[in-house]
Amino acid sequence: MLESTLRLLRFRGLLVTLVQRELKARYRGSVLGFLWSLVTPLILLAVYTFVFSFIFRPRVAGAEPYPLFLMCGLFPWVWIATSLQEGTVSLTASAGLIRKAVFPTEVLPIVAVLANLVHFLLALPVLAAGMLVGRALDFPVCGWSALGLAPIIALEFLLLGGMVLGLAALNVHFKDIKDIVANLLALLFYLTPIIYRLEGIHFPEAGWAQHLGRVVSLFVRWCNPFTPFTEAIQETLFTGSWPALTLWLHMLAWAALCWLLGTWLFHRLRDSLVEAV
Protein backbone atom coordinates (compact mmCIF):
# COMPACT_ATOMS: atom_id res chain seq x y z
CA MET A 1 0.00 0.00 0.00
CA LEU A 2 2.69 2.46 1.03
CA GLU A 3 4.89 1.32 -1.86
CA SER A 4 2.23 2.14 -4.47
CA THR A 5 1.66 5.56 -2.91
CA LEU A 6 5.40 6.33 -2.89
CA ARG A 7 5.76 5.19 -6.51
CA LEU A 8 3.02 7.59 -7.57
CA LEU A 9 4.72 10.44 -5.73
CA ARG A 10 8.11 9.52 -7.18
CA PHE A 11 6.77 9.53 -10.74
CA ARG A 12 4.55 12.58 -10.39
CA GLY A 13 6.33 14.22 -13.32
CA LEU A 14 5.35 11.32 -15.57
CA LEU A 15 1.83 11.54 -14.17
CA VAL A 16 1.53 15.21 -15.15
CA THR A 17 2.94 14.49 -18.63
CA LEU A 18 0.45 11.68 -19.24
CA VAL A 19 -2.45 13.82 -18.05
CA GLN A 20 -1.42 16.58 -20.47
CA ARG A 21 -1.10 13.99 -23.24
CA GLU A 22 -4.57 12.63 -22.46
CA LEU A 23 -6.16 16.08 -22.51
CA LYS A 24 -4.47 17.05 -25.77
CA ALA A 25 -5.45 13.75 -27.42
CA ARG A 26 -9.07 14.20 -26.38
CA TYR A 27 -9.36 17.57 -28.14
CA ARG A 28 -6.97 16.97 -31.03
CA GLY A 29 -8.57 18.14 -34.27
CA SER A 30 -11.31 20.03 -32.42
CA VAL A 31 -11.97 23.65 -33.38
CA LEU A 32 -13.04 24.76 -29.89
CA GLY A 33 -10.57 22.52 -28.06
CA PHE A 34 -10.65 23.03 -24.31
CA LEU A 35 -13.55 25.45 -24.69
CA TRP A 36 -15.77 22.37 -24.92
CA SER A 37 -15.17 21.96 -21.19
CA LEU A 38 -17.09 25.21 -20.77
CA VAL A 39 -19.58 24.81 -23.62
CA THR A 40 -20.83 21.37 -22.57
CA PRO A 41 -21.72 22.28 -18.94
CA LEU A 42 -23.14 25.60 -20.14
CA ILE A 43 -25.50 23.75 -22.48
CA LEU A 44 -26.42 21.34 -19.67
CA LEU A 45 -27.17 24.23 -17.33
CA ALA A 46 -29.32 25.95 -19.96
CA VAL A 47 -31.24 22.77 -20.81
CA TYR A 48 -31.91 21.78 -17.20
CA THR A 49 -32.91 25.34 -16.32
CA PHE A 50 -35.46 25.37 -19.14
CA VAL A 51 -36.81 21.87 -18.40
CA PHE A 52 -37.12 22.24 -14.64
CA SER A 53 -38.34 25.83 -14.75
CA PHE A 54 -41.01 25.62 -17.44
CA ILE A 55 -41.82 21.97 -18.24
CA PHE A 56 -41.33 19.94 -15.09
CA ARG A 57 -41.23 21.61 -11.69
CA PRO A 58 -40.17 19.10 -9.03
CA ARG A 59 -41.07 19.78 -5.42
CA VAL A 60 -37.82 19.31 -3.52
CA ALA A 61 -37.77 21.21 -0.23
CA GLY A 62 -34.67 23.36 0.21
CA ALA A 63 -33.58 22.91 -3.42
CA GLU A 64 -34.59 26.18 -5.05
CA PRO A 65 -33.53 27.08 -7.68
CA TYR A 66 -33.68 23.39 -8.59
CA PRO A 67 -31.54 23.53 -11.78
CA LEU A 68 -28.67 25.00 -9.76
CA PHE A 69 -29.13 22.37 -7.04
CA LEU A 70 -29.05 19.67 -9.71
CA MET A 71 -25.86 21.01 -11.28
CA CYS A 72 -24.09 21.02 -7.88
CA GLY A 73 -24.58 17.27 -7.76
CA LEU A 74 -24.44 16.43 -11.45
CA PHE A 75 -21.09 18.05 -12.31
CA PRO A 76 -19.19 16.12 -9.58
CA TRP A 77 -21.04 12.95 -10.59
CA VAL A 78 -19.76 13.28 -14.16
CA TRP A 79 -16.23 13.36 -12.72
CA ILE A 80 -16.98 10.25 -10.64
CA ALA A 81 -18.60 8.24 -13.42
CA THR A 82 -16.12 9.05 -16.19
CA SER A 83 -13.13 8.48 -13.88
CA LEU A 84 -14.36 5.05 -12.80
CA GLN A 85 -15.30 3.94 -16.30
CA GLU A 86 -12.09 5.14 -17.95
CA GLY A 87 -9.89 4.15 -15.02
CA THR A 88 -11.25 0.61 -14.92
CA VAL A 89 -10.17 -0.07 -18.53
CA SER A 90 -7.00 2.05 -18.41
CA LEU A 91 -4.62 -0.93 -18.12
CA THR A 92 -6.24 -3.12 -20.77
CA ALA A 93 -6.54 -0.13 -23.12
CA SER A 94 -2.80 0.54 -22.77
CA ALA A 95 -1.65 -3.08 -23.00
CA GLY A 96 0.91 -2.33 -25.73
CA LEU A 97 2.45 0.51 -23.74
CA ILE A 98 2.67 -1.61 -20.60
CA ARG A 99 4.46 -4.45 -22.42
CA LYS A 100 6.97 -2.17 -24.18
CA ALA A 101 7.80 0.50 -21.60
CA VAL A 102 9.07 0.24 -18.05
CA PHE A 103 7.14 2.54 -15.75
CA PRO A 104 4.84 2.18 -12.72
CA THR A 105 1.51 0.90 -14.00
CA GLU A 106 -0.25 2.62 -11.08
CA VAL A 107 0.08 5.84 -13.05
CA LEU A 108 -2.43 4.90 -15.78
CA PRO A 109 -5.59 4.59 -13.65
CA ILE A 110 -4.71 7.79 -11.77
CA VAL A 111 -4.33 9.63 -15.10
CA ALA A 112 -8.01 8.95 -15.80
CA VAL A 113 -9.01 10.49 -12.46
CA LEU A 114 -6.82 13.57 -12.89
CA ALA A 115 -7.80 14.19 -16.53
CA ASN A 116 -11.49 14.13 -15.64
CA LEU A 117 -10.79 16.28 -12.58
CA VAL A 118 -9.44 18.93 -14.96
CA HIS A 119 -12.72 18.82 -16.89
CA PHE A 120 -14.66 19.20 -13.66
CA LEU A 121 -12.55 22.20 -12.63
CA LEU A 122 -13.00 23.78 -16.07
CA ALA A 123 -16.77 23.45 -15.64
CA LEU A 124 -16.75 25.32 -12.33
CA PRO A 125 -16.85 28.81 -13.95
CA VAL A 126 -20.23 27.89 -15.43
CA LEU A 127 -21.44 26.82 -12.00
CA ALA A 128 -19.99 30.00 -10.49
CA ALA A 129 -21.92 32.10 -13.01
CA GLY A 130 -25.09 30.29 -11.99
CA MET A 131 -24.31 31.01 -8.35
CA LEU A 132 -23.95 34.73 -9.10
CA VAL A 133 -27.34 34.72 -10.76
CA GLY A 134 -28.75 32.89 -7.76
CA ARG A 135 -27.35 35.47 -5.36
CA ALA A 136 -28.81 38.24 -7.52
CA LEU A 137 -32.20 36.55 -7.10
CA ASP A 138 -31.68 36.46 -3.31
CA PHE A 139 -31.15 32.71 -3.02
CA PRO A 140 -28.74 31.70 -0.20
CA VAL A 141 -26.09 30.14 -2.43
CA CYS A 142 -22.38 29.92 -1.68
CA GLY A 143 -20.11 32.65 -0.40
CA TRP A 144 -16.93 32.02 1.55
CA SER A 145 -18.10 28.44 2.06
CA ALA A 146 -16.87 27.72 -1.49
CA LEU A 147 -13.35 27.58 -0.04
CA GLY A 148 -14.32 24.21 1.41
CA LEU A 149 -14.45 22.78 -2.11
CA ALA A 150 -10.65 22.31 -2.28
CA PRO A 151 -10.32 19.84 0.65
CA ILE A 152 -13.47 18.04 -0.48
CA ILE A 153 -11.95 17.52 -3.95
CA ALA A 154 -8.68 16.33 -2.36
CA LEU A 155 -10.51 13.69 -0.32
CA GLU A 156 -12.64 12.67 -3.29
CA PHE A 157 -9.50 12.26 -5.38
CA LEU A 158 -8.19 9.74 -2.83
CA LEU A 159 -11.54 7.95 -2.91
CA LEU A 160 -11.61 7.69 -6.72
CA GLY A 161 -7.88 6.98 -6.97
CA GLY A 162 -8.18 3.99 -4.66
CA MET A 163 -11.24 2.73 -6.49
CA VAL A 164 -9.73 2.91 -9.97
CA LEU A 165 -6.49 1.24 -8.85
CA GLY A 166 -8.38 -1.74 -7.47
CA LEU A 167 -10.88 -1.92 -10.33
CA ALA A 168 -8.23 -1.57 -13.04
CA ALA A 169 -6.18 -4.41 -11.55
CA LEU A 170 -9.25 -6.64 -11.25
CA ASN A 171 -10.39 -5.81 -14.79
CA VAL A 172 -7.13 -7.19 -16.19
CA HIS A 173 -8.02 -10.62 -14.80
CA PHE A 174 -11.82 -10.42 -14.99
CA LYS A 175 -13.04 -8.56 -18.07
CA ASP A 176 -16.59 -8.44 -16.67
CA ILE A 177 -15.54 -5.77 -14.17
CA LYS A 178 -15.99 -2.90 -16.64
CA ASP A 179 -19.59 -3.97 -17.36
CA ILE A 180 -20.33 -4.40 -13.65
CA VAL A 181 -18.99 -0.89 -13.00
CA ALA A 182 -21.12 0.61 -15.79
CA ASN A 183 -24.30 -0.99 -14.44
CA LEU A 184 -23.50 -0.12 -10.83
CA LEU A 185 -22.96 3.52 -11.78
CA ALA A 186 -26.37 3.62 -13.46
CA LEU A 187 -27.92 2.34 -10.22
CA LEU A 188 -25.81 4.50 -7.89
CA PHE A 189 -26.84 7.66 -9.72
CA TYR A 190 -30.30 7.23 -8.22
CA LEU A 191 -28.95 6.04 -4.87
CA THR A 192 -26.88 9.21 -4.50
CA PRO A 193 -28.63 12.45 -3.42
CA ILE A 194 -28.12 14.25 -6.74
CA ILE A 195 -31.69 14.81 -7.88
CA TYR A 196 -33.12 14.88 -4.34
CA ARG A 197 -32.09 15.76 -0.79
CA LEU A 198 -31.62 13.13 1.90
CA GLU A 199 -34.13 14.97 4.06
CA GLY A 200 -36.72 14.48 1.33
CA ILE A 201 -36.71 10.68 1.51
CA HIS A 202 -40.06 9.52 2.95
CA PHE A 203 -41.01 6.07 4.15
CA PRO A 204 -44.33 4.42 3.32
CA GLU A 205 -46.62 4.26 6.32
CA ALA A 206 -46.72 0.47 6.69
CA GLY A 207 -46.01 -2.88 5.10
CA TRP A 208 -43.00 -4.38 3.39
CA ALA A 209 -42.44 -1.17 1.41
CA GLN A 210 -41.72 0.64 4.68
CA HIS A 211 -38.93 -1.80 5.58
CA LEU A 212 -37.52 -1.67 2.05
CA GLY A 213 -37.59 2.11 2.16
CA ARG A 214 -35.65 2.15 5.42
CA VAL A 215 -33.03 -0.22 4.02
CA VAL A 216 -32.60 1.96 0.90
CA SER A 217 -32.40 5.10 3.02
CA LEU A 218 -29.74 3.57 5.30
CA PHE A 219 -27.73 2.47 2.25
CA VAL A 220 -27.91 5.90 0.63
CA ARG A 221 -26.87 7.63 3.84
CA TRP A 222 -24.15 5.33 5.22
CA CYS A 223 -23.12 2.67 2.67
CA ASN A 224 -22.87 4.76 -0.49
CA PRO A 225 -19.33 6.21 -0.61
CA PHE A 226 -20.43 9.04 -2.91
CA THR A 227 -23.19 10.38 -0.65
CA PRO A 228 -21.05 12.40 1.81
CA PHE A 229 -19.06 14.01 -1.01
CA THR A 230 -22.22 14.96 -2.93
CA GLU A 231 -23.77 16.37 0.23
CA ALA A 232 -20.63 18.31 1.12
CA ILE A 233 -20.36 19.90 -2.33
CA GLN A 234 -24.03 20.83 -2.21
CA GLU A 235 -23.52 22.37 1.22
CA THR A 236 -20.52 24.46 0.20
CA LEU A 237 -21.79 25.59 -3.19
CA PHE A 238 -25.58 25.57 -2.98
CA THR A 239 -26.65 26.24 0.58
CA GLY A 240 -23.64 28.41 1.36
CA SER A 241 -22.72 26.62 4.60
CA TRP A 242 -19.68 24.76 5.86
CA PRO A 243 -20.15 20.96 6.04
CA ALA A 244 -20.64 19.55 9.53
CA LEU A 245 -17.78 17.77 11.31
CA THR A 246 -19.58 14.43 10.98
CA LEU A 247 -19.70 14.89 7.22
CA TRP A 248 -15.95 15.60 7.09
CA LEU A 249 -15.26 12.47 9.16
CA HIS A 250 -17.54 10.45 6.88
CA MET A 251 -15.63 11.63 3.81
CA LEU A 252 -12.26 11.02 5.45
CA ALA A 253 -13.24 7.48 6.43
CA TRP A 254 -14.39 6.56 2.91
CA ALA A 255 -11.34 8.20 1.28
CA ALA A 256 -8.89 6.39 3.57
CA LEU A 257 -10.67 3.05 3.23
CA CYS A 258 -10.85 3.15 -0.57
CA TRP A 259 -7.28 4.39 -1.01
CA LEU A 260 -5.80 1.76 1.33
CA LEU A 261 -7.89 -1.07 -0.10
CA GLY A 262 -7.27 -0.04 -3.71
CA THR A 263 -3.50 0.35 -3.35
CA TRP A 264 -3.29 -2.95 -1.42
CA LEU A 265 -5.22 -4.81 -4.11
CA PHE A 266 -3.14 -3.26 -6.90
CA HIS A 267 0.07 -4.19 -5.06
CA ARG A 268 -1.09 -7.80 -4.69
CA LEU A 269 -1.91 -8.14 -8.40
CA ARG A 270 0.90 -6.00 -9.87
CA ASP A 271 3.26 -8.87 -10.69
CA SER A 272 0.62 -10.63 -12.82
CA LEU A 273 -0.61 -7.57 -14.70
CA VAL A 274 1.93 -7.55 -17.55
CA GLU A 275 1.29 -11.22 -18.41
CA ALA A 276 -2.50 -10.95 -18.12
CA VAL A 277 -3.09 -7.57 -19.77
pTM tops 0.85, yes or no: yes
Which amino acid would we find at residue 210? Q
Structural domain boundaries enclosing 179: 2-276
Nearest to 1 by CA among 272, 257, 174, 276: 257
Q: How confident is the model at residue 107 (pLDDT cuts 50, 70, 90)?
A: very high
Nearest to 104 by CA among 2, 15, 1, 164: 15
Nearest to 9 by CA among 90, 110, 92: 110
Share of the chain above pLDDT 70, in %: 85
Nearest to 235 by CA among 157, 150, 141, 156: 141
**Each residue of 43-59: pLDDT tens digit?**
777 787 777 777 777 76
Average pLDDT, the chain: 84
Q: Higher-confidence residue: 189 or 95?
A: 189
Q: How confident is the model at residue 135 (pLDDT cuts 50, 70, 90)?
A: low
Task: Over range 127-131, report the average pLDDT.
Answer: 79
Give residue 112's Cα distance to chain centre: 11
Q: How many independent structural domains does the chain possess?
A: 1
Q: How confident is the model at residue 205 (pLDDT cuts 50, 70, 90)?
A: low
Integer angstrom CA distances of residue 1 from 83, 84, 100, 166, 267: 21, 20, 25, 11, 7
Task: Over range 151-170, report the average pLDDT.
Answer: 97
How many other CB atoms are found less than 10 A from the CB of residue 70? 24
pLDDT at 5 over 60: yes
- Residues 230 and 247 sit within 8 Å (Cβ to Cβ): no
Give residue 80's Cα distance to chain centre: 2
